[in-house]
């Protein structure tokens, strides 16, 4: 890459992470549509993959979810996207294969992969690069191949940004190679449910979380569930009982109530929405009461 690309061009947003990785003795690699970084740590390596939202930031870029990973003292392999092409970059595959096999596998004793939506696809499909990996994904796409996922119509531009006949095209194939897959998804989002069903298997632990919508990680975070659940899953210790016992607190999350009431009203269930809000406010008051009442009131005018 020339100096213009690195300092002021498409790689300018990676200047800080490039400097940090260099100082820590890690790896920094620029590819035509991706940047790969390895931030060294101990014991476990967690590979993370950008979702589409990461590309909308004007700030300096960092690996998706790296704060949580580095807080555990683990190493982080960040695969950061410059285009929303679902990791369909021919240069990416041999680069990752060589880096993982020659540098990363000898340096760590455990391996996990972590991603949301498009990043979930990356985590699933590249899990086959690691020995006995754990994948942790939130509302992942398993592929964008027409013949494999004909139900997926949300991301048509992604289908045209790469070759979907090459390697690493199906996250379900990668998941089959994993020691364990933790799959979090909203079964009320039809496409997300259908992708999740492709991942059901003996090595998969499924976490259907209704009414959290597609980008539901912020809703999970509002319940103080995201961090502890993600860490336990990345370690391979999270159980369905532990998660769903804690998931009961969702009824006290204003963000969850907002999504639930919006869904009810949009489906013509204004009376049920009104009853649910009344019950919730009797149990616990809300700082967002006006917003929640406004959602229910709007249903009466539909």
In which band, very low, low, confident or very high, does the pLDDT at 302 lie, cut at 50, 70 and 90? very low
Q: Are 39 and 24 in contact (CB under 8 A)?
A: yes
Mean pLDDT of 133-151: 95
- Given a cut of 50, whether residue 256 has pLDDT beyond it is yes
Mean pLDDT of 115-123: 96
**57-79 pLDDT per residue, tens:** 889 999 999 999 999 999 999 99
In which band, very low, low, confident or very high, does the pLDDT at 2 lie, cut at 50, 70 and 90? very low
- Given a cut of 90, whether residue 137 has pLDDT beyond it is yes
- Given a cut of 90, whether residue 180 has pLDDT beyond it is yes
Model pTM? 0.89
Percent of the chain exceeding pLDDT 90 equals: 64
Query: Phi and psi dihedrals of 64, rounded to 5?
Result: -60, 130
Residue 125 to residue 230: CA distance in whole angstroms? 19
In the block, tokens 């990416």 appear at 92
The token pair at 201 is 């298997």
CA angle 136, 201, 250 (to 5 degrees): 50
Residue 184 to residue 193: CA distance in whole angstroms? 10
Strand, helix or coil at 286?
A: coil
Q: Are 260 and 211 in contact (CB under 8 A)?
A: yes
Residue 211 to residue 244: CA distance in whole angstroms? 14
Mean pLDDT of 29-48: 97
Q: Are 15 and 35 in contact (CB under 8 A)?
A: no
**192-248 pLDDT per residue, tens:** 999 999 999 999 999 999 888 877 788 888 889 999 999 999 999 999 999 999 998
Residue 12 to residue 223: CA distance in whole angstroms? 35
Residue 79 to residue 70: CA distance in whole angstroms? 15
Bridge partners of residue 44, in order along the sequence? 110
């Amino acid at each position: 890459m020339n100096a213009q690309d690195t300092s002021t061009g498409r790689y300018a947003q990676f200047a800080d992470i490039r400097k940090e990785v260099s100082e820590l003795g890690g790896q920094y690699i620029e590819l035509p549509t991706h940047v790969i970084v390895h931030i060294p740590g101990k014991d476990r390596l967690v590979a993370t993959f950008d979702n589409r939202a990461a590309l909308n930031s004007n700030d300096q870029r960092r690996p998706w979810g790296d704060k949580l990973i580095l807080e555990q003292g683990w190493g982080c392999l960040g695969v950061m996207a410059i285009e929303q092409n679902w990791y369909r970059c021919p240069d990416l595959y041999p680069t990752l294969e060589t880096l993982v096999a020659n540098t990363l596998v000898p340096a760590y004793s455990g391996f996990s992969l972590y991603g949301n939506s498009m990043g979930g696809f990356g985590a699933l499909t590249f899990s086959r690069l690691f020995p006995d990996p754990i994948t942790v994904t939130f509302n992942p796409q398993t592929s964008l191949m027409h013949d494999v996922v004909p139900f997926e119509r949300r991301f048509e531009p992604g289908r045209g940004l790469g070759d979907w006949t090459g390697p690493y095209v199906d996250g379900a194939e990668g998941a089959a190679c994993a020691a364990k897959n933790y799959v979090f998804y909203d079964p009320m989002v039809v496409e997300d449910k259908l992708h999740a069903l492709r991942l059901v298997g003996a090595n998969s632990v499924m976490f259907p979380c209704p009414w959290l919508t597609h980008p539901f990680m912020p809703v999970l975070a509002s319940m103080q569930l995201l961090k502890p659940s993600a860490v336990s899953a990345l370690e391979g210790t999270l159980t369905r009982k532990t998660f769903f016992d804690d998931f009961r607190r969702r009824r006290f999350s204003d963000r969850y109530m907002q999504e639930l009431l919006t869904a009810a009203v949009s489906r013509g269930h204004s009376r049920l929405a009104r009853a649910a809000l009344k019950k919730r406010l009797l149990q616990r008051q809300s700082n967002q009461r006006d917003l929640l009442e406004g959602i229910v009131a709007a249903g009466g005018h539909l």
